């Protein structure tokens, strides 16, 4: 058995070296995968940063557009209020003109009635004068 000891030690040493080589190879593969994961993670991080920057730029553009729309809406609201006030004033003037027209027509009707009465009175006076003249003959 002592004669076989150097052979067993050599086999153990060979097995240990093979195991060390295998572990070393696994460690290299692990390092390579780890580096690749880090590279992939950095690339993904850069892509996410770019997407976030793009989203921020779009959000800023949307804010500007919203502010412009709000300004347009406020201007339209002011115009609508001005138009409403003008319409109310116009309506007031129209009502006033209508009432004045009604008053004019009332006065015109009264004047026509007075003129008709005056004509009737004149006719009556003429008829009386005619009768008096015929009586005096």
Per-residue pLDDT tens over the stretch 80-129: 999 999 999 999 899 999 999 999 899 989 999 998 998 998 899 889 98
| pLDDT at res. 9 | 87
The enclosing H or E element of 19 equals helix 5-136
Instruction: Give backbone dihedrals phi and psi of 4, rounded to 5 degrees, phi first.
Output: -85, -10
Task: Count the Cβ atoms, other than its own, within 10 Å of residue 58.
Answer: 10
**22 vs 114: CA distance, rounded Å:** 133
């Amino acid at each position: 058995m002592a004669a076989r000891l150097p052979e067993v030690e050599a086999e153990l040493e060979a097995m240990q070296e093979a195991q060390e080589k295998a572990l070393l190879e696994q460690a290299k593969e692990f390092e390579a995968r780890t580096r690749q994961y880090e590279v992939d993670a950095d690339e993904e991080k850069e892509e996410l940063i770019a997407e976030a920057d793009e989203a921020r730029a779009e959000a800023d553009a949307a804010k500007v557009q919203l502010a412009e729309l709000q300004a347009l809406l406020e201007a339209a609201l002011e115009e609508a209020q001005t138009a409403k006030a003008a319409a109310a004033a116009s309506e007031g003037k129209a009502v006033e003109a209508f009432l004045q027209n009604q008053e004019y027509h009332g006065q015109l009707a009264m004047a026509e009635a007075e003129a008709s009465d005056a004509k009737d009175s004149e006719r009556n006076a003429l008829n009386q004068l005619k009768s008096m003249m015929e009586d005096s003959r």
